[in-house]
Amino acid sequence: MNWSPLWISLSVAIPATMITFFLGIFIAKKVISANAPVSKLLDVIFTLPLVLPPTVVGFLLLILFGKNGLIGRFLYSVGIQIVFTRLAAIIAAIVVSFPLMYRSAKAAFEQQDGNLIQAGRTLGLTKIQIFWRIEMPLAAPGILSGTILTFARALGEFGATLMIAGNIPKITQTMPMAIYMNIQRGETKIASVWVLLMIMLSFFMILFLNFINIKKEEKGIHNITS
Amino acid sequence: MGASGCGKSLTLKCIAGIVTPEEGKIVLNGKVLFDSKLGINIPPQQRKIGLLFQNYALFPNMTVRENIGISCNKKNRKSITDRLLKEFRLNQLESRYPGQLSGGEQQRVAMARILAYDPEALLLDEPFSALDSYLKEELQQNLIDFLRKFNKDILMVSHSRGELYRFCDYIAVIDHGSLMETGNKRKIFEDPEKFITARLTGCRNISRAIRISDYEVRAIDWSVNLHTNKRVEDNIRYVGIQSCYIKPGEQHEENTIPINLSDSLEGPDQVKFVLTKQEDANYSHNSNLLWTVAKQEWRHLYQLKFPEYIQIPKEHILLLTESEKRKIC
């Protein structure tokens, strides 16, 4: 059995999650502080990849990163090819999983009692201190669950990845791709190994997610932010 | 002092710097904190003003000790926190989280956290609104004791006249964002000048009024002419009488009104009588009078016949003017 799809999946999902983590928090903060109409519009745009079919996202990514694409053309001229590479798979995973991180972080920040931030300001804390010592710790459970959802989504990404990164064994063939390919070939046994692995991974991620929520309740955090 | 939504809390937030007013000027101890004309707006971090939030706004992710020490620098954090934990009797609770504390304990932590910052003024926003009423009295006494040690300016906002009377020396009445009347608390409570002040200090009996002569005024809603000790000015619009100052009267005495008892409301230590005027053809709710009698007096009164007349003692008549609008600054 060839295990390369597992390593490829991880080498796509881990960097994608790391980038989405910071990007999601950063964008969520920006959208919250934007003016009402702008904020509403941005929110729609950043949530769109969640509801669009992955093939639509894949199509749009091809327009951007293809050889004749808006960004792709420039990158190609300096010798960088995106399409059908590991990088393309990472980009697809970021775009598709981004709304999960963004929405989790935004909800976590918006839920917070605004008085806490104001209290921090009247106690002489700088913006940075308030962010790291008050906002982030309070948003942590929401951000952590967003991160897990992001990772799970990045790991399971299929449609957009297929369109922009292809299904090249040992280069861009991730676990979901391997399942599809093996079924096509009639290799049901190999496919079922991958299926089982995906189910186990997802099971433990959700278990961990619930564990975070229990921890949060024990600390009594939920009953003060009224 | 002011009714809910009149702009009290907003005024405090403007002073603390977390809300920016549209126009005006805020000066503390000679230092300009805000001036719309000169474009000055010192950020809250540099104002050094302590604000006790209505819900205390303790940081739920930090222990009591961490909450108190948040504004201190590393060097003296421990010594300041230790001192305040002791002063506010929080030693036992130092490693608890705010969610595990009672309302009164949260209030003490919030006060300690503000004092650790060593502010130049202290603002209290409805400090007891988040507490159970049966705990309030004891906690109020505790807070008064702590505040006595703080010898800088304290500004408190409340709609509770009892709280304000207990805590404050000087009172400003706010209505619809405008300053109505200011003065010593005794003056504000016992001799208010404005209709709104009388209402907010708990005067339930107010009638429209017209000046008749220098020492006589017509109470329109009670259809009676009242003699006064104080000189009646031209701008008088209302007369009022605190419900506890009403006395039983006789027909021939001055300032008496014939009444019927329409309802009595018994409280734990006093009884309130709702009185309507006798032979009141055009009865309106406005002309009802409320008479408060202490329980002991009430027993005495009850044995006799309920009086047919009440007297409004001239020394307790409030002569009130309309509340003309005036900007706060």
Would you kindly state where each structural domain of chain A is located, as residue ranges?
4-218
Q: Determine, yes or no, domain membership for B183.
A: no
Rounded Cα gap, residues A138 and A108, in angstroms = 8
DSSP H/E element including B10: helix B8-16
As a whole number of angstroms, the distance between CA B62 and CA B321 comes to: 52
Residue B248 lies in a domain: yes
Q: Which CA distances in Å does A78 have to A65, A71, A73, B288? A: 13, 11, 9, 90
**Separation of alpha carbons A195 and A7, rounded Å:** 15
Q: Between the CA of residue A36 and those of A41, A105, A208, what are the distances in Å?
A: 9, 18, 36
- Taking 70 as the pLDDT cut, the residues of chain B under it are 279-286, 302-304, 323-329
Q: With a cut of 60, say whether residue A225 has pLDDT above it.
A: no
Pairing of strands B121-125, B153-157: parallel
Distance between CA atoms of residues A189 and A26, nearest Å: 43
Question: How many domains does one find in chain B?
Answer: 2
Q: In the CATH scheme, what architecture does the domain A4-218 have? A: Orthogonal Bundle (1.10)
How open is the CA angle B35-B38-B42, to the nearest 5 degrees? 50
Please state, in angstroms and rounded to a whole number, the distance separating the CA atoms of residues B35 and B23.
7
Cβ contacts (< 8 Å) between A124 and chain B: which residues?
45-46, 48, 71, 117
How far from each other are the two terminal CA atoms of chain B, in whole angstroms?
16
Whether residues B73 and B218 fall in one domain = no
**CB-CB under 8 Å, B70 with A123:** yes
**For the domain that residue B150 is a member of, what is the CATH number?**
3.40.50.300
ipTM for this prediction: 0.79
Q: Which of B143, B168, B193 is the last residue of a domain?
A: B168
Q: pLDDT tens digit string along A25-80?
A: 999 999 999 988 999 999 999 999 999 999 999 999 999 998 888 898 888 888 88
- Residue B22 is given by DSSP the state S
CB atoms under 10 Å from CB of B164, counted, come to 19
In a domain, B175, yes or no: no
**pLDDT at residue A223, as a whole number:** 43
**Angle at B312 (CA atoms; ends B306, B314), nearest 5 degrees:** 150
Cα–Cα distance, B126 to B9 (Å, whole number): 8
Is A118 close to B53, i.e. CB distance below 8 A? Answer: yes
C-alpha span between B292 and B241 (Å, rounded): 11
Burial class (CB in 10 A: 0-12, 13-18, 19+), A93: buried
In a shared domain, residues B157 and B248: no
- Output DSSP code: residue A40: H
Contact B116, B71 (CB under 8 A): yes
What gap in Å lies between CA B138 and CA B324, rounded to an integer? 38
What is the tens place of the pLDDT at every residue in B194-241? 998 998 888 889 988 989 999 999 988 888 889 999 888 888 999 999
Q: Per-residue pLDDT tens for A152-180? A: 999 999 999 999 999 999 999 999 999 99
User: Which of A124, A126, A221 lies at the smallest CB-CB distance from B60?
Assistant: A221
Q: Residues of B with CB below 8 A from A116's CB? A: 57, 59-60
Assess whether B162 and B214 both reside in one domain.
no
How high is the pLDDT of residue B329?
42
Q: Of the candidates B142, B168, B194, which is a domain's last residue?
A: B168
Task: Verify that B140 and B273 share a domain, yes or no.
Answer: no
Residues B19 and B95 reside in one and the same domain = yes
B24: in domain: yes
Contacts of A123 in chain B (CB under 8 A): 70-71, 113-114, 117
Residues B152 and B50: their CA atoms lie apart, in Å, by 11
B179 located within any domain: no
Residue A129: burial class (beta carbons within 10 Å; 0-12, 13-18, 19+): middle
Q: Which tokens hold the place of A58?
A: 């894949």
Tell me if B3 is assigned to some domain: no
Residue B45 lies in a domain: yes
> Based on the domain organization, do B15 and B147 belong to the same domain?
yes
Kindly state whether residues B236 and B298 are assigned to the same domain: yes
Residue given tokens 């055009």 in the structure block: B282
- The alpha carbon of residue A151 is apart from the nearest alpha carbon of chain B, in Å, by 26
B97 with B214, same domain? no
Q: Which of B60, B26, B55 is nearest to B43 (CA)?
A: B26
If asked whether residues B132 and B214 sit together in one domain, one would say: no
- Please give the residue range of the domain that contains residue B137: 8-168
Whole-number pLDDT of residue A219: 59
Residue B223 lies in a domain: yes
